[in-house]
Amino acid sequence: MRDVLDHAHDRVLDHGTGLDEAGVLAVLRLPDDRLPAALQLAHEVRMRWCGPEVEVEGIVSLKTGGCPEDCHFCSQSGLFSSPVRSVWLDIPSLVAAAEQTAATGATEFCIVAAVRGPDDKLMAQLREGVAAIREAVDIQVAASLGMLTQAQVDELVAIGVHRYNHNLETARSYFPQVVTTHTWQERWDTLSMVRASGMEVCCGGILGLGESPAQRAEFACQLAALDPHEVPLNFLNPRPGTPLGDRAPVPARDALRAIAAYRLALPRTILRYAGGREITLGDLGTRDGLLGGVNAVIVGNYLTTLGRPAADDLALLDELQLPVKALSATL
């Protein structure tokens, strides 16, 4: 009897068309004994429609903590009793971070700030920082600064930011359970402006916030409708002091099912391992995901937590014979 993977083979692998919401949900509900087949198909889809290369990125927090928003998963909100304090990174340290990232072979360096949206001080810091990085380091610069005005979008384009990250975080139907200080639509509006500007759109979210499998499928298809250049896939790393601080991490098999399902919903998109993979999947699961649809990684540390050493991920890519995407291929 044919199941969703047979259907996906025809639709996604052969024609490059993503699964619809019902199809994604069916993948998310596959029994454990079908998981290897789902990952294998997702890998074949990735190889066919994206190729074997893996895009490597480093990220750094330019402005940490003290955020006025209440994203319930985030240790940087100033509204929770998180131990994370507000701190700004100076420009020489920012450039050094970009240099460290480039030394790993990464082609992307994303500058992140914990804000609702950038104010004049942050825009000035970013302007100076991007200029200093472009002077010193051969790497593509991305940014993640929250919600933007049209004037700010235009300025980011002008200073050479090539990709903008703004995560929708979760399904539209579940978002009000996770964030109350702004709406999913406000995030969508920023993404629409970014897309119209010509910057590449980077938009993903976090799995494990308490959403249902149906809402995971809903979210995958909302991302597909956005058609971003990149989808970073985070798994909740429960942070002390946040409203979700006591939630259990996503079970590894559910995380792998989600990786396969999101690849089958987004056959041509960069699907990036982002935060939480270490506690959710460990070393073995990281390998399974890279052979199950993921074609990009954040290497090194995250914004407030630590990751695997970059050398470990690069050694794994080498072992799996997955080449790191070269900078020349991104320009």
Partner 1 sequence: MASWCDRCGGALADGDHTRCTAARALEPPRFCPDCRRRMKVQVLPSGWSASCAVHGRTGPDQPRSATGR
Stretch that binds partner 1, among 115-123, 169-177, 198-206, 300-308 (CB under 8 A): 300-308
Helix (H) or strand (E) holding 235: strand 230-235
Q: Longest Cα pair distance anywhere in the chain, in angstroms?
A: 61
Pick between residue 213 and residue 238 the one whose CB is nearest to partner 1. 238
**Tokens in use for 190?**
């920023």
Least distance CB 58 / partner 1 (angstroms):
4
Answer yes or no whether residue 149 interacts with partner 1 by CB under 8 A.
no
Of the candidate spans 82-90, 114-122, 217-225, 244-252, the one that interacts with partner 1 by CB under 8 A turns out to be 82-90
Q: Does 96 bind partner 1 (CB under 8 A)?
A: yes
3-class state of residue 98 by DSSP: helix
Binders in 16-75 for partner 1, by CB under 8 A: 58-61, 64
Shortest Å, Cβ 87 to partner 1? 5
Give the pairing type, strands 108-113 and 55-64.
Answer: parallel
Buried b (16+ CB within 10 A) or exposed e, 231-261: bbbbbbbbbeebbbbebebbebebbbbbbbb
As a whole number of angstroms, the distance between CA 144 and CA 163 comes to: 9
Q: Is 140 in the site for partner 1 (CB under 8 A)?
A: no
Backbone angles phi, psi at 131, to 5 degrees: -60, -40
Of 289, 290, 307, nearest to 298 by C-alpha is 307
Q: Which of the 8 DSSP states describes residue 115?
A: S
Does position 144 bind partner 1 by CB under 8 A? Answer: no
252 binds partner 1 (CB under 8 A): no
Name the minimum Å distance from CB 97 to partner 1.
Answer: 5
Beta carbons of 159 and 126 less than 8 angstroms apart: yes
Q: Quick check: 232 binds partner 1 (CB under 8 A)?
A: no
- Out of 300, 317, 324, 325, name the contact with partner 1 by CB under 8 A: 300
330 touching partner 1, by CB under 8 A: no
Alpha-carbon distance of 130 to 119, in angstroms, equals: 16
Give me the 302-321 binding string for partner 1, x by CB under 8 A, dash otherwise: xxxxxx-xx-----------
* Chain residues in the site for partner 1 (CB under 8 A): 58-61, 64, 83-87, 89, 93, 96-97, 100-101, 104, 240, 278-279, 299-307, 309-310
